[in-house]
Every structure is written in C-alpha cells, then in structure tokens.
Amino acid sequence: MITSFYGETAMFENSLFPCCLIVFPLVMSLSSPGSAQVLSQDVEKELPSLLALYQEIHAAPELTFFEKETSARLARELRSLGFEVTHPVGKYPEPGLTCYGVVAVMKNGPGPTVLVRTDMDALPIEEKTGAPFASKVRMKDVTGEETCVMHACGHDMHQTILVGTARLLARMKSQWKGTLILVGQTAEERGYGARALLADGLYERWPVPDYALAEHVDPTLDAGQVGYCPGWAMASIDMLDITIRGVGAHGARPHEGRDPIVMAAQVINNLQTIVSREINPVDAAVVTVGSIHGGTKHNIIPDEVRLQLTVRSFTDQVRKKILEAIERITVNTCRAAGVPEDRLPEILNRKNEFFPALYNDPALTDSTARAFRSALGDENVIKITPTTAGEDFSELGRTSHKVPILLFRVGTGKPGSDISSRPGLHSPLYIPQLEPSIRCGVKAMSAAVLNLMGK
C-alpha cells in the first residue's frame, strides 16, 4: 500500500499565481544615488559588529529541532532594537518537539506589512574549513545519536543579514511606514519550520503580510552580487521510503524464494523511465534513488530491501503524475516477479519533510530587482535560472492568503575564482567571503524592504 501526500496547504498551478493581489503600490525609495550612498554608509558602520556576530553564530550551530540558544540570541538582538518579540513560536506535528521560532514586530504608522524571514538550523556535518571560528560542536540529534554540527548552508549568514537589516531599518524609521515583521524560522533543513509557524498562527496572531521576503546564500554568485528569478524558482521536494518485500531463501536455491534485491534493481531502472518517457520534456523533474539497503550475507536472499528516493518537480500536476507513476511501477514490477499480494511493496511519503515549489511573484521580483540595481549597481544584479533545490519559505506564499513572496540569492563566492572549484552548500568546506557577503546581503535586503515601505 502507498501512503501519499499531496500537500497540507493550498497547491497552485501557474495559471493561478497571476491572481495574487499587490495591495500597495511598489515604490522606489532608493532611486537617487544619495539614498544608496546613505544606505552604504550605514552598512559600513555596522559591518565590524555584524562580522563578529556571524563568527559567534557560526561557531555555535544547533541542529534542526534544537535551535534553543540560537533563537534566544536572535530574539535578544531584535528586542534590543525596539521590536516587540514573541519567542518561542511554532507547533510541530510530533509530540515532544519544541519549536523555537521567533516573531518580531515593529509598527511605524499606516502602510504595508512586510515580513522578512531567516532560517536558523544547522547540519550534521563535521566542519573542515580551517577557519579560526570553525565549529567544534557535537550534539545529539533527534534520534539520540551524537553528531558533529556545522552551518554549511548559510543560515548563520542569513541571521546576520536579518540582524543587519533590522539595525538599519530601526535607525531609519523616518524613511519608511508600515509594519515590519521579522521571523526566525526553525527546521528549514527538514521542511518542518514554515508549517510549524503557520500552525501556531503566524497569519492569525500577527498581521497578514502584504509581501514576504527572504534570501539565501549562493556560492556560484560572487560576493557582492545578488541573483533573482521571477516565477518558478525552486522545486517541490518529496522524500519517499520504499520497502520491497520478497521471500527469503538460500543463495544456492533462489527458485525457492522471491529475491527483493533483483526486484529492487529492476525498480530502480524502471523508475528512470518516468522523467524520460512519461513527463513532457519541457517540464523539469528529477527522480533519484539515493539509498538502497538489503541483505546480510553473501549466500542469503533477504526478505526485504529498503530504498530512499527524492523527487523534484515544479508544478503540482507533474508532481502528482510522478508520485502515481512511482507507485504503479514499483508495485507492478514486484507483481511481475511473483510476489504475493500480501507482500507487495510499501511506499511511504514523508509528508512532514515535504517542500512545495517556490514561486517568486513576478511583479514583486521585478520591482525588487530595480531596487537592487539602484543600491548595488547594474553589474551586481543577476537574473538566474530555476533550481531543483527546495526551500520551505514557499509555504508562506501558498496559504489561502496568497501572500506575494520573493526569495533572492546573495553571492558568497570569491570573485575571480573558478566556480567549479568553490565548495558548494552542504559541503564541510563551505564558508562565505565574509565582509563582502554581509555588506551586500544587508544592503540588498534593506533596499528590498525600503522599496516596499519607503515614504
């Protein structure tokens, strides 16, 4: 039997997104060189302390579900700037897990409500950057197993950029109007965090935002550059566990069993025909079998083999078609091998680790890109292509409120270096070019907010 999950929040196709309403006009508050210069000067004043903050966060990472001290540090910083802070916020579906989300609000008269999100969790990776502030942290994960911990996906940089933006905007209250909501989100790496915030009333206990913004580091872009992608920008992600059940036997007498290893091999090969033969070539999709486990000894045919898959797609229609094809191919491959009906494979979709596809509102994206060019220069603003990586920030734009969202990229690579030689995200060697990345990220996010809230 298959346990499928096609999303707990509203799913949208391409045709629905143009219906998103832009409630307030998008304004250009950084159109003059003087405004951009003032912003740059303010960032430079904060840069030394933001660099120290980054190093502090980087050296003390916490795993998904355990962001207690990280979130408390962020909450203290925002509270000191005059934000009304609520912490912790969020409800996970599993009992016994505490969500350490942060929601900080600054009201500054009538105007639009803009939400800016950062993520906070780190990864179970042993750091090998050699930096003087490299993480040496070890901690137990949710299963109780001890592991090394590292900020290898830039969430330390994201928090630093959020704090820098908060400092600038708190100082520049005469330059903007409206309600600013800053959110520290847990559990992005597992796809739990955004849903946990929504489940705890993010759009009921606080004003529904007119726009929501986030950024993510990108080592393929040079430090000092930002990237933007209107429309579909990041893929949906499904994580599937498949258990193929056979009938065990002696390796010398295979005819007395039903070999799940052979069936698993056939299933893996057959799954590769889904994208190549069942999905329209113009629709991007990926089906990857990332793990296979079965058997204990050379001459024993086991009872079962376990597979772990990741599925990437952009539209709900393609996603549904792929998941249905995986079930059909897996079940019928095993039927063809003579597996009894009561031993057919089990397919479990990990619904709580599902990432919906991310759609950047085109009008919001284009307007923000113009603000970036004013703040950073045309040469530092790059239009990029979609990626099959995932981000649960997408959840904030897929509720019934249909909030227009934008996630843009902040470059962290060394200018002039070969892109292929740069350590990627989730690498034990990944570390940003610190000062130019912080400088660019704070300027970009501050410009994006002022573009929406400037007088």
State the Cα–Cα distance between residues 294 and 301, nearest whole angstrom. Answer: 9
Q: Which residues of the chain have pLDDT under 70?
A: 1-34
State the Cα–Cα distance between residues 209 and 229, nearest whole angstrom. Answer: 21
Q: Which fold has domain 12-234+357-453?
A: Aminopeptidase (3.40.630)
State the Cα–Cα distance between residues 168 and 177, nearest whole angstrom. Answer: 14
State the Cα–Cα distance between residues 150 and 29, nearest whole angstrom. Answer: 38
Query: Burial of 4 by CB count in 10 Å (0-12 exposed, 13-18 middle, 19+ buried)?
Result: middle
Q: Which residue do the tokens 């898959």 mark? A: 309
Identify the CA nearest to 121 among candidates 25, 23, 42, 188: 188
State the Cα–Cα distance between residues 221 and 26, nearest whole angstrom. Answer: 27
State the Cα–Cα distance between residues 454 and 40, nearest whole angstrom. Answer: 17
Contact 308, 290 (CB under 8 A): yes
Q: What are phi and psi of 316, to 5 degrees?
A: -65, -35
Contact 371, 26 (CB under 8 A): no
State the Cα–Cα distance between residues 80 and 76, nearest whole angstrom. Answer: 6
Whether the domain at 12-234+357-453 and the domain at 236-353 fall into the same CATH topology: no
Q: Which residue do the tokens 């179970």 mark? A: 124
Identify the CA nearest to 405 among candidates 252, 282, 228, 165: 228
Contact 99, 90 (CB under 8 A): yes
Q: Which fold has domain 236-353?
A: Alpha-Beta Plaits (3.30.70)
Beta strands 236-245; 304-313: pairing state: antiparallel
Q: Which residue do the tokens 């990990």 mark? A: 350
- In this prediction, residue 197 carries a pLDDT of 98
SS3 101: strand
Domain ranges of the chain: 12-234+357-453, 236-353
Q: What are phi and psi of 322, to 5 degrees?
A: -65, -45
State the Cα–Cα distance between residues 294 and 227, nearest whole angstrom. Answer: 43
- In this prediction, residue 34 carries a pLDDT of 56
- In this prediction, residue 455 carries a pLDDT of 75
State the Cα–Cα distance between residues 32 and 434, nearest whole angstrom. Answer: 28
State the Cα–Cα distance between residues 409 and 228, nearest whole angstrom. Answer: 6
The kind and range of the H/E element at 226 are strand 226-228
State the Cα–Cα distance between residues 151 and 94, nearest whole angstrom. Answer: 25
State the Cα–Cα distance between residues 350 and 335, nearest whole angstrom. Answer: 24
- In this prediction, residue 31 carries a pLDDT of 52
Question: What letter does residue 414 receive in the DSSP assignment?
Answer: P
What CA–CA distances, in Å, run from 450 to 243, 267, 455?
Answer: 52, 52, 8
State the Cα–Cα distance between residues 248 and 136, nearest whole angstrom. Answer: 45
